[in-house]
Amino acid sequence: MKNWIELLSEFKSKRQPVALVTVTKCSGSAPCVVSSRMIVTEDKTSYGTIGGGKLEYNAIDEAINALKENKIIESSYTLGPDFAQCCGGKVEFIIEPMNQSPELFLFGAGHIGTEIAKLLIDTPFKVTLIDSREHWLAEVNLDESIVKCQVKENDFKTFRDAVNWGKNCYVLVLTHNHLIDFDVVAMALENETKYLGLIGSKTKKARFNKMLISEMNIKDGMKNVTCPIGLPIGGDTPKEIAISVVAQLLQVHYQAIAQ
């Protein structure tokens, strides 16, 4: 195959999720060597080899699981009768999901929202800052890596379409209007997210919980919503609150990878 670094670069440019399988240890008679590599896509297409046969079939299946769960997997196999092999060798490998960066969709380009976006520069997060106030985002000066998205208050479909829903989707709700906050939270609960956070007090959480159950027929209410947001590190300035929120986002992201 092509140089595996070149292949990974091509997949990265296309934002196509792949898993990199790398042999980390071989002992006894084995059909591969340490550093043998294979790249696996979501449709089970593979590039390169770690020895073929049942070992490789199993590795491909585990690579698909690594992509689905977006976590690193370490595995090992003894090549005995179960593999129709009697060589008795052992192979260990690590599977790393690639190109599945967490994406944060941040509703509300106020003081705290913009500070969160700035603090997430040079982290794994891709950030989209969303606001419905006319001309508001044009006045916000941010790094070019942060996507600014204007939505329309009278067309809620634009809110839904602004988000790339899925297992790598993080949503933060910090708008200028409590009614918009509620609508965005209700919308997010009907779609797939990794994390959904709402700025506010325990009183706001209780109020939204009641409204979600009684008005939206969302039986779990606010059960799957983080509110208040941020780690309890202290401080109440916009930047200090933003630091606590970014710390929480990174904690959720890295804990998910390590599990």
219-253 pLDDT, tens per residue?
A: 999 999 999 999 999 999 999 999 999 999 999 99
Q: Are 20 and 35 in contact (CB under 8 A)?
A: no
What the block records as the tokens of 78 is 């003894």
Phi-psi region of 84 (alpha: psi -120 to 50; beta: other; left: phi over 0): left
Beta strands in the chain (DSSP E): 18-27, 37-41, 46-48, 73-78, 90-98, 103-107, 126-131, 147-150, 169-173, 195-198
Q: Which residues of the chain have pLDDT under 50?
A: none
Residue 250, Cβ density class (10 Å: 0-12 exposed, 13-18 middle, ≥19 buried):
middle
Tell me the β-bridge partners of 23.
Answer: 93
Q: Give the β-pairing of 103-107 and 169-173.
A: parallel
Q: Are 216 and 191 in contact (CB under 8 A)?
A: no
Q: Are 253 and 102 in contact (CB under 8 A)?
A: yes
What the block records as the tokens of 7 is 């292949």
CA distance 18 to 71: 12
At 170, is the secondary structure helix, strand, or coil? Answer: strand
Please tell me the predicted confidence (pLDDT) of residue 28.
Answer: 81
Give the full edge-to-edge strand order of the sheet including 46-48.
46-48, 37-41, 18-27, 90-98, 73-78
First to last CA, the chain: 32
Dihedral of CA 132/135/139/144: which sign?
Answer: positive
Query: pLDDT tens digits, residue range 110-121?
Result: 999 999 999 999
What the block records as the tokens of 254 is 């890295």
Please tell me the predicted confidence (pLDDT) of residue 1.
Answer: 56
What is the rounded (10 degree) CA torsion for 114, 118, 121, 126?
0
Q: Identify the structural domains of the chain with CATH numbers, from first to last.
A: 4-98 (no CATH), 103-258 (3.40.50.720)
Q: Spell out the residues 6+ positions from residue 185 whose beta carbon is closer than 8 angstroms to its own.
A: 173, 196, 198, 208, 212, 222, 225
Of 249, 209, 257, the C-alpha closest to 113 is 249
